Amino acid sequence: MATVDLAPGTAPLTTLNEEEVMFRDAVRQFAEDQVKPLVHDMDAQARMDPDLIPQLFELGLMGIEIPEEFGGSEASFFTSVLIVEELSRIDGSVGVLVDVQNTLVNNALLRWGTDEIKRKYFPQLAESKVGAYALSEAGSGSDAFALACRAREVDGGWKLDGHKLWITNGAEAEIFIVFATVDPEAGYKGITAFIVERDFDGFTVGKKEDKLGIRASSTTELIFEDCFVPAENVLGDVGKGYKAAIETLNEGRIGIGAQMIGIAQGALDATVGYVKEREQFGKAIGSFQGVQFQLAQMATEIEASRLMVYNAARLKDAGEPFLQEAAMAKLFSSQVTQRVTSTCIDLYGGYGFTKEYPVEKYYRDAKIGTIYEGTSNMQLQTIAKNLLK
């Protein structure tokens, strides 16, 4: 398998192996055949097509890293990144549903779950149940550990009280990783992660947000009112949830980078096809050098983003440090995707401003990349701190 030498101290960036190519190509075909016809209606209705989710499970896309003994594909984190990219090339909403399931929920259980937790929840997450990751609150965004959601110990477990906001997959999920503080005076050392099932007493899914982009991806409020969680559903150690949150989000940022390059590539693909057909002044606009140069610039920036995302994913799989690379990949890919989708609308002209053509949706979907799983300013802070330490 061919390799490319990178900077000293980093793992080599490898080309795709045969298994990865097969997985990617199968997902690409599925996205074209099964997802693409649904995209417009899902966006308009702000709702994931309910028939689509079972297909994602049947293809093994919801348990990519889950061991085979629990019904998963037991593939690599890098494979998850490829899948998210391919789905997002057609629809960023489907891409992020699969991304959260794999890079956040399944990843957290792989690293922090007890054997009992894995035996109980992995078969469900691999076969039929969507997961969600609940960290954010009204007063806790970039300041991720300013949590007001409380957990108090009771006989046999814990009682949770509070609200969560901006929870991706909230409408579809049946298994939630929820972060709450067991001791507000302890600061981040009071943060603890809990596994909450949708039918637990005292837990309800609240308001669904009406969003600019990725509209078919549900974003909801979660409400906990004396919600009982069994003691065995603590994920990791009590008071160590901050570590699980930070390390999982570092991996999740690579997944968002994959979503961004998928959206950018989808917009560019549509635009290349359009400029070959659209005629002005008696010839296709793609024959004008000014248009060609814009296409070339976009393609170059997307490829640079892709290599950054792939490199961060390979480093993660190799057990090498990847904090800075993940932050850089998310930062740059989200910036590139906004530029690319905006330029694509320009090249479509007035048609690009209408919902009849796909680029206006790619443009709306792109904006979230600079916000969730760490804003661009937070990525810059992470990169700077790593450089200066």
The DSSP annotation for 227-296 comes to EEEEGGGEESSTT-HHHHHHHHHHHHHHHHHHHHHHHHHHHHHHHHHHHHH-EETTEEGGGSHHHHHHHH
DSSP 140: B
CATH code: domain of residue 373: 1.20.140.10
Do residues 7 and 138 both lie within one domain? no
- Angle (deg, nearest 10), helices 359-366 and 241-277: 160
Q: pLDDT tens digits, residue range 96-135? A: 999 999 999 999 999 999 999 999 999 999 999 999 999 9
Do residues 11 and 126 both lie within one domain? yes
Tell me how crowded residue 217 is: count the other CB atoms within 10 A of its CB: 27
Do residues 217 and 346 both lie within one domain? no
Q: pLDDT tens digits, residue range 55-96? A: 999 999 999 999 999 999 999 999 999 999 999 999 999 999
Domain boundary among 93, 111, 130: 130
DSSP 75: -
pLDDT for residue 325 is more than 60: yes
Tell me how crowded residue 208 is: count the other CB atoms within 10 A of its CB: 15
Mean pLDDT of 175-204: 96
Spatial separation of the C-alpha atoms in residues 132 and 193, rounded to whole Å: 13
Do residues 145 and 126 both lie within one domain? no
With beta carbons less than 8 A apart as the criterion, state whether 181 and 191 touch.
yes
Structurally, the chain folds into a number of domains equal to 3
Spatial separation of the C-alpha atoms in residues 74 and 244, rounded to whole Å: 21
CATH code: domain of residue 216: 2.40.110.10
Catalytic residues, by residue number, are: 373
Spatial separation of the C-alpha atoms in residues 349 and 204, rounded to whole Å: 45
Alpha-helical segments (H) within the chain: 18-30, 39-45, 52-58, 77-90, 92-99, 107-112, 115-127, 241-277, 289-317, 323-348, 359-366, 376-388
Strand duo 131-134 + 175-181: pairing: parallel
Burial-class residue 293 by CB neighbours within 10 Å (0-12, 13-18, 19+). Answer: exposed
Domain boundary among 91, 108, 130: 130
Instruction: Please name the residues in contact with 134: beta carbons below 8 A apart, sequence gap of 6 or more.
Output: 164, 167, 176, 177, 178, 179, 196, 222
Do residues 373 and 287 both lie within one domain? yes
Tell me how crowded residue 116 is: count the other CB atoms within 10 A of its CB: 10
With beta carbons less than 8 A apart as the criterion, state whether 191 and 241 touch.
yes
Domain boundary among 130, 159, 193: 130
**Which pLDDT does position 261 carry in this prediction?**
98
Q: pLDDT tens digits, residue range 271-283? A: 999 999 999 999 9
Do residues 95 and 206 both lie within one domain? no
**Which pLDDT does position 146 carry in this prediction?**
87
Spatial separation of the C-alpha atoms in residues 217 and 204, rounded to whole Å: 18
Question: Which pTM value belongs to this model?
Answer: 0.95
Do residues 10 and 145 both lie within one domain? no
**Which pLDDT does position 143 carry in this prediction?**
87
Do residues 118 and 137 both lie within one domain? no
Tell me which residue of 199, 196, 138 sits closest to 166, measured CA to CA: 138
Do residues 158 and 31 both lie within one domain? no
The boundaries of the domain holding residue 42 are 3-130
With beta carbons less than 8 A apart as the criterion, state whether 81 and 60 touch.
no
Do residues 92 and 62 both lie within one domain? yes
Name which residue leads in pLDDT, 2 or 197: 197
Do residues 369 and 248 both lie within one domain? yes
**Which pLDDT does position 2 carry in this prediction?**
36
Altogether, the residues listed in the chain come to a count of 389
CATH code: domain of residue 62: 1.10.540.10
**Which pLDDT does position 5 carry in this prediction?**
39
Q: pLDDT tens digits, residue range 10-42? A: 334 457 888 899 999 999 999 999 999 999 999
Do residues 224 and 263 both lie within one domain? no
